[in-house]
Structure 1
Amino acid sequence: MKEIKIVGGQFMMGDSYNEGVPIDHEFPPQLVKVQNFIIHDTPVTNESFSKFIEETDYKTDAEKYGWSSVFYQLIPEEKRFSYPSMPESPWWLAVEGARWNQPEGIGSSIYDRLDHPVVHVSRNDALAYCAWAKMRLPTEAEWEFAARAGTVGRFPWGEELEKDGEFMANTWQGQFPMVNTQEDGFVGTAPVYSFKPNQFGLYQMIGNVWEWCSNPYQASLTVFNEQTSEQIWNNHQKESDEFFAIRGGSFLCHFSYCNRYRVAARNGTSATSTSSNMGFRCVKSIDKN
Structure 2
Amino acid sequence: MSFSMTGYGQSALQHGGYKVEIEIKSVNHRFCEVVLRMPREWTCFEDVLRRTVQSYVKRGRIDIYMNKEAELDNVAFATLNHSAVKAYLQAVDILHDQYGLEGKLTVKDILALPDVLLSPDHIPTVDEEDMELWGEVLQEGLRSALESLKIMRFKEGLHLAQDVEQRLHRLQVLHGEMLALAPHVVEEHRIRLRQRLTELQDPSFSLDEYKLSMEIALYADRSNIDEELIRMQSHFEQCKELLHSDEAIGRKLDFLIQEMNREVNTIGSKANHLPLVNRVVEMKAELEKIREQAANIE
What TM-score results when the alignment is normalised by the length of structure 2? Answer: 0.19
Structure with greater helix percent:
2
Structure with greater strand percent:
1
Q: Looking at CA atoms only, which structure, 1 or 2, has the larger radius of gyration?
A: 2
